[in-house]
Chain A
Amino acid sequence: MTAAPQTPTKQSPSEVPTFPLMRRLFAYRPRLFVLNVLAWSGFHALPAFFSYFVSRIFAHLGELQTAGAAGAAGAPGSIRQVAITAAWIAVVGFAVTRFARFGVFYFAVRAWFRLWFTLDALLRRNLLGWLLLSRGSRRLPDTPAEAVSRFRDDVDDVAAYTEVWVDAGGFLIYSVVAITLMWRVDPTITLVVCAPLLLVVLFVQRLSPQIRSYRRRMRQATARVTDFLGETFGAVSAVKLSAHEGQMVAHLARLGETRKAAALKDVLLTELIKGVNTNMINLAVGAVLLLGANLILRGRMNVGDFVLFFALLPRLTGSMGYFGDMIARHRRTGVSFERMQRLLQDAPMPEVVAHHELYLNGQLPELPTRAGATAFETLEVRGLSAVHDSGRGLIEASFRLTRGEFVVVTGRIGSGKSTLLRALLGLLPHSGGEVVWNGEQVTDLASFFVPPRSAYTAQLPQLFSDTLEENVLMGQSAAGEALERALRLAVMQQDLSELPQGLSTQVGARGVKLSGGQVQRAAVARMLAQNADLLVFDDVSSALDAETERQLWLGLSTELPNATCLVVSHRRAALLRADRIIVLDEGHVADQGRLGELLARSPQMRALWDGEEVAG
């Protein structure tokens, strides 16, 4: 095995290629994306046209007033009539553009939801897909609860950033039209009014590193709260039994305070930016008044022109502010990508936006049949090492397994028994050594050691909220007989008859509705239902009583004589049955051989067998 242990790829924020990633994401549903851009462009650009019509209305009214007053005596009624008719025509233009916008919105909003939620779904599918299916060992960098916030908040952030791009075209058209119209009235005023808007954009850009760090702190504080809640309710019975609910709640309150402080900073800054953006319009209007006073008195500007500014400015400020916000959103999206990448660790960056079918209509495809594999003959482990951060772990373990053997790994607490199994199966990254299966070196342990080659039952196996049957089969279309056998070998027959709904029993979250022993047996049945050659048990017997355990080993040896078992145990029932025992001590293989030999020559073995403390 050559693959280096998986170290998280250090990717500094500036390296996150947000643009290419987003481009790839949009390309997932290109037509839908373009449709959105078109619809929303129309939606955002139309106000420029109805502002124009409003200004025409007031221009005509203004003409009338000035004309009426100036030539009170000579103004013919027809001129007055023409101006009023022109004003009414502008009113019609105004009405038509407004109604058109209403119609566009109807379609735009539907298209947008489809796009947004589809991209959300794609990101989540890719995150989970990589964690489930990728090569190499997968360890979550944080608690599952915190990982869930990657799936929820960060995914939302990224998909919502799409909104920025969908809206961009419309805002751009609006800005260009608006600035052109204003320019025609007076270039100086237009420049004076637009300059501060550009300043806002620059201001936001200056603030964006700050925004990011506030946002990150806020997210971390939030994650600590959700983590704590997850752990509290994951251990709810322990918390209740210890009568420490009050202290847990007090701790939650402390975490909440920290989060509040972080959130307020985030809110303050975000609101500051928003406030500057929106209130900038009033200042701009003030500027138009100030500068326009002179022009209007000299007759170079009329009421209609004023109204044009007033009507266009709010949305123009909005658009400019939007471009400023776009920069901030872009940075935040970078943070979200970064955090998702931290979850995926060694995945190539584009993985999170890779294109996969989502089956959102509910028509799921058939499960692909498992690839076959040649029957197991031998397994050779040479110098396998895997060291935890604590410095403990497994150091250069070597051993052999051949078909049909029953091999027990034993040793004291912390001697590396579980680490040995987990490193072999690729559940932990290993720092050295090689694994040879049927004479061929295995390059990726994690994707290699799966059914039909091997199956594994953890020390604390996890079941999932579903029926017992679903849990055991895990999608295997095991015929009734195979399922029957798996349950029989796992000594589950009696449990099944006691459970009111039998195989259809909902096991509850993490199997909480079953007893500890039932969870273990269900997990063993689940492993056996996979029809694997090599069965790896990590101390499953600990929740089983002696009789149950005896039945398990006996059943395996009589019904599955060809199955190879690698078992962590310190129970005599297992040790007595072992073809070979591997004794671990402080991460090293201290000795291996048959029980009789080991008892004769290995002090560690004798200590374990007798339950006596080894001297020292």
Chain B
Amino acid sequence: MSAPAAPLPSSTPALKVLGTYLLPMWPRVLLLAALLIGSTLLTLTLPLLIARFVDTSTAALTAGGEGLGALGTLTRLSLMYIGVALIVQLLSAGATYLGAVVGWSATNRLRTDLTAHLLGLDMKYHKERTPGEMIERIDGDVTALSNFFSQFAVRVFGAALLLTGSVVMFFRENAWLGAGVLAFVALTLLGMNRVRRRGIEPTRLEREGSAKLFGFIEERLSGLDDVRSLGGGAYTLRKFLGVQGSFFRQLMTAGVERTAVWQFSMLMFTFGYVGVIGAAVGLYAAGTITVGTALLLYQYMSMVEEPIDQLTQQLQDVQKAGASLLRVGEILSLTSQLPSGTRLLPAGALSLDFDDVSFAYEGEDDPSARVLSQLTFQLAAGRTLGLLGRTGSGKSTLTRLVSRLYDPTSGALRLGGVSTLEADLTSLRSRVAVVTQDVQLFQASVRDNLTFFDPGISDERVRSALTEVGLLDWAEELPEGLGTSLPAGSLSAGEAQLLAFARVMLRDPGLIILDEPSSRLDPATEARLTAAMNRLLSGRSAIVIAHRLDTVARADDILVLGAGRVLEYGAREALAADTGSHYSRLLRAGQLGGSDEGEIDALEDDIREVLA
């Protein structure tokens, strides 16, 4: 097997992945190998039958009169030929199917492994990437690998077997010819491998371009309303043409580079065939071989050509797969900047400690890039903290540190006395519940939306969570109840927010972060939520962010942030009583915020009079 091994030296990482994902399926892989070996051996006997046929018939003709006596032998040879051909067909069909089974099983596992790995990466990674790009990474790349997995075994291995067998047959006929063919095969495969490498880099660029193009399309399609209503169609199309144009040029380069292999093999085989036929004619003229043998040589040459052709074609896939593997490897080698600790968070309500915490999204040591600066405060277990501040003052960022989407640049943050760096990440995330500004819904059933596709949560629990947020009636009215698929956009933002609440109800968090939970609710609906919210918060710690003061009216403590610093922190009632505090000034200014906007204040007073 020295010859077929030649084209694969650069595929070592590929072989490693092959090992990881194929070894667990060894019985099937073994069966696959058996099928391939069987069909290859049988294929090799076919030219022998033909050579025997030709020589028998020529001999009979030469012998003259009793020629027809050989008819029985010839008929038997023909029938054998047909029989063997049929068996070969069955075996190779079986091998192909089995190859596909193995390939799909392996790549499905790789897809889930990749997804799990990517989900484990931190938000810094995800911020840079579109969902479309992720799809291309996980599905596009892996599908290229799927061809590799399933076809590599069947085609490449099968071809290698056939190639080896054919070369052996040449040796059987004539050692010199055998040596010549062997040299030819080695030269062709080595050359092809060299030419093939030229295709790897353009192929990588091509796949990058493809990810970019489809990422562009996905993003624009999901923002189609924004584009259309702003008359941005022509502009977007123009941008698209730019992205597509560069993808086109990448495709052309990669395509031409990749077919260079094919081109090379075609040239080599032109030489090869002419050489073998020339040799056959020469040997025959010298009287060394019979016509049947000359024909045998020609046929075995096509048995050399076929697998090399196959290898060439598969090498294109191997190339694609190589580029994909490279990137799959890149992804798998990325590690989260937020390694999980091992300590579990205590049960019950969680206390929260901020100890001189600073944070910057970019530029670690640059104080001007800080979003949060030297925050120090303690929230006792079971208390509710009202978080106030302008947009951009760092409120959301503060909560992202608590849920450990990011780690502080400096300082320490403790939940229930456990540093977030030391806490087990899953434990932390399941004990800290977050209702964010945007509720992310899936195009899936109501149930799956609430449970995040966890079949282990009973319908009863889902119903009771829906009851608590007042959505049960709504859910029961749906055509298929909890199993009804949520069509995109069928929920108002307010209802989506209620669903997000129900999600939290399904868990038993020790700390709840409500990031502007009521931002998209009209006051009437918000009132519906208040009761449920109170139930949820009781016995738990909470951070409630709101721009409306009445949302934080039930808070125990108040923290006012300004430009990433603590402007004020204390018990709500104490702050309200202190006329000099930010909080009491805000209270006085009312929810309009603008204490200097006298006109509106006056108007509001007028309205109060009307109402009275």
Contacts and interface: CB of A to CB of B under 8 A. Distances in A.
Contacts of B218: 144-145, 147-148, 230
A573 B547 CA distance: 13
Interface in B237-285: 237-242, 244-246, 248-249, 251-252, 255-256, 259, 262-263, 266-267, 270, 273-274, 277-278, 281, 284-285
B220 interface: yes
Contacts of B451: 247
Nearest to A510: B219
A349 interface: no
A271 B249 CA distance: 33
A276 B363 CA distance: 63
Interface stretch (B12-20, B105-113, B173-181, B189-197): B105-113
Contacts of A495: 392
Interface stretch (A185-193, A400-408, A432-440, A447-455): A447-455
Interface stretch (A8-16, A31-39, A104-112, A199-207): A104-112
A550 B219 contact: no
B228 A509 contact: no
Interface string A521-558: 00100110010000010010011111110100010000
Contacts of B64: 70
A360 interface: yes
B437 A451 contact: no
B452 A247 contact: yes
B571 interface: no
B123 A229 contact: no
A275 B442 CA distance: 42
B611 A547 contact: no
Interface centre among A411, A464, A516, A543 (most CB of B within 10 A): A464
A559 interface: no
A88 B223 CA distance: 70
B130 A105 contact: no
B58 A65 contact: yes
A252 B114 CA distance: 11
Contacts of B26: none
Contacts of B240: 125, 128
Contact of A290 (B75, B232, B521): B75
Interface stretch (A165-173, A233-241, A481-489): A233-241
Contacts of A152: 214
A474 interface: yes
Interface in B311-358: none
B410 interface: no
B285 A84 contact: yes
A508 B62 contact: no
A237 B439 CA distance: 10
B443 A231 contact: yes
Interface residues of A, number: 191
Interface stretch (B2-10, B80-88, B414-422): B80-88
Contacts, number: 536
A4 interface: no
Given A260-B108, A297-B60, A412-B524, A54 B298 contact: yes
Contacts of B239: 475
A279 B225 contact: no
A196 B230 CA distance: 62
Contacts of A560: none
A102 B523 contact: no
Nearest to B521: A413
B100 A267 contact: yes
Interface in A367-416: 367-368, 370, 388-390, 410-414
A147 B228 contact: no
A460 interface: yes
A454 B523 CA distance: 29
B301 to A, nearest CB: 11
Given A271-B97, A282-B85, A512 B224 contact: no
A247 B453 contact: yes
A132 B78 contact: no
Interface stretch (B30-38, B373-381, B592-600): B592-600
A173 B558 CA distance: 86
A247 B454 contact: yes
Given A91-B277, A105-B263, A474-B230, A286 B442 contact: no
Given A249-B119, A253-B112, A427 B217 contact: no
A296 B237 contact: no
B85 A530 contact: no
B116 A147 contact: no
Nearest to A476: B235
B453 A248 contact: yes
A572 interface: yes
Interface string B505-517: 0010000000010
Interface in B55-89: 57-58, 60-62, 64, 67-68, 70-71, 74-75, 77-79, 81-82, 85-86, 88-89
B119 A360 contact: no
Given A128-B240, A229-B139, A450-B231, A362 B82 contact: no
Interface centre among A314, A412, A427 (most CB of B within 10 A): A412
Given A70-B62, A231-B442, A412-B525, A61 B291 contact: yes
Contacts of A66: 58, 61-62
A474 B237 CA distance: 11
A132 B226 CA distance: 10
Nearest to A520: B391
Nearest to A538: B493
A607 B523 CA distance: 8
Interface centre among B77, B285, B430, B448 (most CB of A within 10 A): B285
Interface stretch (A92-100, A174-182, A209-217, A331-339): A92-100
Nearest to B268: A102
A131 B221 CA distance: 8
B215 interface: yes
B229 A275 contact: no
B123 A240 contact: yes
Contact of A548 (B234, B391, B519): B391
Contact of B256 (A110, A250, A251, A548): A110
Contact of B115 (A102, A232, A463): A232
B291 A465 contact: no
B276 to A, nearest CB: 11
B58 A252 contact: no
B245 A359 contact: yes
Nearest to B586: A546
B85 A98 contact: no
Contacts of B584: none
B606 A229 contact: no
A220 interface: no
B454 A244 contact: yes
Nearest to A494: B392
Contacts of B88: 279, 282
B607 interface: yes
Contact of B78 (A117, A290, A390, A460): A290
A413 B392 contact: no
B120 interface: yes
A195 interface: no
A572 B135 contact: no
A522 to B, nearest CB: 11
Contacts of B101: 264
A518 interface: yes
Interface in B466-518: 487-488, 490, 492-495, 503, 507, 516
Contacts of A74: none
B434 interface: yes
Given A297-B67, A418-B493, A474-B232, 16 more contacts: A94-B273, A95-B274, A114-B252, A235-B441, A237-B126, A240-B429, A247-B453, A279-B85, A360-B244, A362-B245, A455-B230, A509-B127, A516-B391, A548-B390, A570-B522, A613-B528
8 contacts: A65-B58, A238-B440, A240-B429, A243-B429, A251-B453, A286-B82, A461-B226, A523-B226
Cβ-closest 8 pairs across A and B:
A611-B523, A462-B223, A235-B440, A546-B593, A475-B235, A413-B494, A282-B85, A517-B391
